[in-house]
Every structure is written in structure tokens, then in C-alpha cells.
Structure 1
Amino acid sequence: MHRVSIPAKPTIRTRLDRAGLILSGVCAAHCLASVLIISGLGIGGQFLLDPIWHEIGLMLALFIAAIAIGWGALRHRRAVPFVVAMMGLTFMGGALAAPHGMEEMILTVIGVALVSVGHVLNLRAPAKA
């Protein structure tokens, strides 16, 4: 049976992948909560739907993914985590061009889901010697 050794102290790349997963979860929760709160209660639209949240989120996602996924691709030489994460970032970028509402939410949630999958694949890929 093949055993994968887990380092006692997480590497910087591992920490960045985990941060990317957390950021993706926060982004998805923000999108879903915004739509539910605004449509259900009719409050918070100015704050929750402010485009700056999406722009900051995309910038953070780009930064974290570029370092973590890029670094991982160099170490494990597998393209799949990189390609999946870049597809996700493309969806997230497309969401910035969509009008506020369901289209934007769907594109963003698809994007953050793909970025999350890219980070998970990156974490699970063994380093090549």
C-alpha cells in the first residue's frame, strides 16, 4: 500500500492552498448569503452587493492561486490542478462583467468551486523528485 507522508509542519505552499480553500468558502458563502438576505429581507444591498467585494476577492484569489498552484505545478509537474484553478478564476472574472443577481452568483460559485478543486488537487499531488 502506498503511504503519503505528511510533514509535521505545513509548508508555505500548503498554507496558501488551505488559505485558498478558506477564501473560496467565504466567497461562496458571501454570494449565497447576499442573494438570500437581499431577496428575503430586502436589506444590505448597498453593502453586500458592492462590486469592491468581488474585485478584492478576485485579486486575493489570483494572488493566492498564482503562488500556491503555480508553485505546486512546478513541484509535482501536474497540469490538472493549474488548469482547473485557472478555469475557476476565469469564471470568477466573468462574474465581474455580469449584472448583479443570479447570473453573477452562478458564475462566482462555479468559479470558487473550481478554484477549490484546484487547491485540493494541488494539496494531494505528490512532489516529483
Structure 2
Amino acid sequence: MGKDGLWDRIAVMISGLCLVHCISTILFVALLSSAGGVFLDPLVHEIGIGIAIALGMFTLGRGVLDHGYVMPAALGGLGLGMMMGAITLGHGGDHGGAEVIYTMLGVGVLALGHDLNYRATH
């Protein structure tokens, strides 16, 4: 567990992949409605948020211990909370668009927390 920021860089990369997933889902659903069943499967999002929580607890928690700044962990926690809240909105219906927006905002806030954590460590 060195201070090279490897885990924060991995977490930021995964956040970016989540954002790409969200955007590509919108595009694929718009272009190929049959692909929506795979990309919009709630299990994909539940597994993804589980990985994000575990990685966030590890990297952001370790960061607080390493550099003593709580702000990156607080922002990361806010982003995770936004993502978890978005999952509760469900796909489609009245809240379908809101789920995507809240998820993407949460991913961005989480990535900012990881970036600040990385910068504070270096």
C-alpha cells in the first residue's frame, strides 16, 4: 500500500468506465432497443455500485489515514450516495431519465473525490 496512488488511479479509471457505460447505454438503447435489456439489467448496476463502494472505502479511507484530509472521502461518499440513490429510482417510467442523470453526476463527484485523494497523497 504505497503512496504511488495506484488504487486512486484505478478508481478514477473505473469511474470513467461507469460514465462511458451510462453514455453508451443511452446511445445503444436509442439505436438498438434490443440491447437495452442487457445494459439496463439492474444486476449490472448493483454489482457496479458494490465494487465502487468497496474500492471507495479502501482508497478514500486509506487516503484519510495517509494524508489526513477528509474532504476527498466526503466527496467520494457523496458521489456514492448519489449513485445509490439513483439505483432506487429504477429504469424507465417517470424516473428513467433522472436515474441516468443522478448516476452520472454521482460518478463525477466520486471521481473528483478520488482525484483530490490522489493529489493530496502526492
How does the TM-score come out when normalised to structure 2?
0.89
- 1:121 paired with 2:116, answer yes
SS in 2 for 1:78: coil
1:115 aligned partner, one-letter code: L
Partner in structure 2 of residue 80 of structure 1? 71
State the shift of 1:60 in Å.
Answer: 0.7
Residues 37 and 116 of structure 1: CA distance in aligned 2, closer, same or farther (over 3 Å): same
Identity of aligned residues (%): 35
Partner in structure 1 of residue 107 of structure 2? 112
Structure with the larger helix share: 2
State the shift of 1:59 in Å.
Answer: 0.6
After TM superposition, the structure 1 = structure 2 runs for residues 13-92 of structure 1, keeping only pairs within 5 Å, are: 14-92=5-83
The separation in 2 between residues aligned to 1:104 and 1:11, in whole angstroms, is 36
Gaps of at least 5 residues in structure 1 are 1-9
State the shift of 1:81 in Å.
Answer: 0.1
Gaps of at least 5 residues in structure 2 are none
How many pairs were matched up? Answer: 118
The separation in 2 between residues aligned to 1:46 and 1:23, in whole angstroms, is 22
Residues 67 and 36 of structure 1: CA distance in aligned 2, closer, same or farther (over 3 Å): same
Root-mean-square deviation (CA), in Å? 1.7
1:33 aligned partner, one-letter code: S
Which digits, 9 at most, give the CA deviation of each residue in 1:36-93, with x for residues without a partner?
2112332311101001111111111111110110000111111110110000000010
The separation in 1 between residues aligned to 2:106 and 2:41, in whole angstroms, is 19
The separation in 2 between residues aligned to 1:12 and 1:63, in whole angstroms, is 19
State the shift of 1:30 in Å.
Answer: 0.7
SS in 2 for 1:33: helix
2:34 aligned partner, one-letter code: I
Report if the CA contact (8 A) 2:52-2:80 is conserved: yes
